[in-house]
Amino acid sequence: MYLIVDLGNTLAKFFLYIKGKCVMEKRVDLSKFNEMVESLISNHPDIEGLIYSDVSNQIGGFFEKLSTQFPVIAVHSEMRLPFDNTYESPNSMGSDRIVLVSAASISHPNTNVLIIDLGTCITYDFLDSDSRYRGGAISPGFEMRYKSMHHFTENLPLLESKKTENPTGKNTEQAIHAGVYFGILDEINARIEYYEHKYDSLKVILTGGDANKLPKTLKNRIFANSNFMAEGMLHLLKLNFN
């Protein structure tokens, strides 16, 4: 049994795998992280190994004390990877992006893949058909755009994210929703078109907590399953276990 922990900016996700099959998935607020880990460890004494990804680099140290019970592996750029990392500053590459590219290389070998992760930030990562990671881009996500417009202006209100079908707002609130939603949608479509024009047989994988906010017109793309990152981390664990 393997325990996989994905630590984001707001949530901690836990997965238990037995013989390559996910038998448990839980998501909790980061404030409940310690409690959840201790519960999982005590209730599953047969855990053979643990791998974690910590994008904030704030909680990972908690796992050090568990290394006396079973192997504990942190996702980082210097570990054994299933792809060739050509990023010029590999040590600055977030663990979440490392996991996503690893998962894409496993699920779509010998393929040009663009992975778009919609979370706090929107990340674009490109893996070519020779399993070389070429780099990508990072831009503000939905919530960040709403908060920045409110924070850096005097009169714009802070709104909750909302899907809209009209790019022309009739009032300030509608205009903000239209600006955020269609700004992100246009950005994604333009990025996909760029890679499709430059590379043949491109696969586009959409993932992340905000991927479900995208319209049905993008359904011809691949919406990753909820275990996409967990499966990538499981492969990394096995790859680096010994």
Q: For residue 216, is pLDDT > 80?
A: no
Among 74, 103, 120, give the residue marking a domain's end: 74
Secondary structure (3-state) at 64: helix
Q: Is residue 238 part of a domain?
A: no
Locus of tokens 């504990």:
72
Closest CA to 205 of 130, 56, 120, 105: 105
Please tell me the total count of domains within the chain.
2
Does 93 share its domain with 195? yes
pLDDT at 78: 92
Residue of 6, 46, 54, 96 marked catalytic: 96
| Three-state DSSP state, 174 | helix
At which of 74, 93, 112 does a domain end? Answer: 74
Q: Are residues 140 and 91 in the same domain?
A: yes
Cα(193)–Cα(204) distance, integer angstroms: 11
Both tokens assigned to 144:
């960040």
Q: Is 6 an annotated catalytic residue?
A: no
Residues 92 and 211 in one domain: yes
106/147 same-domain check: yes
Q: Could you give the angle at which helices 142-151 and 172-198 cross, rounded to 10 degrees?
A: 130
pLDDT tens sequence across 135-168 = 999 999 999 999 999 999 999 999 999 889 899 9
Q: Which of 74, 99, 130 is the last residue of a domain?
A: 74
- Full residue range of the structural domain in which residue 63 is found: 2-74
Q: pLDDT (tens digit, 9 = 90+) per residue, 46-97?
A: 999 999 998 877 676 677 778 888 889 999 999 999 999 999 998 889 899 9
pTM as predicted: 0.89
Q: Which residues, other chains included, contact 55 with Cβ-Cβ below 8 Å and sequence gap of 6+?
A: 7, 8, 9, 94, 95, 96
Tell me, yes or no, whether 93 and 36 share the same domain: no
> Is 198 domain-assigned?
yes
Q: 36 in a domain, yes or no?
A: yes
User: What is residue 214's predicted lDDT score, i.e. its pLDDT?
Assistant: 85
The percentage of the chain sitting over the pLDDT mark of 70, rounded to a whole number, equals 96
Shared domain for 32 and 145, answered yes or no, is: no
Q: Which pLDDT belongs to residue 60? A: 60
Same domain, 66 and 92: no
Q: Do 27 and 139 reside in the same domain of the chain?
A: no
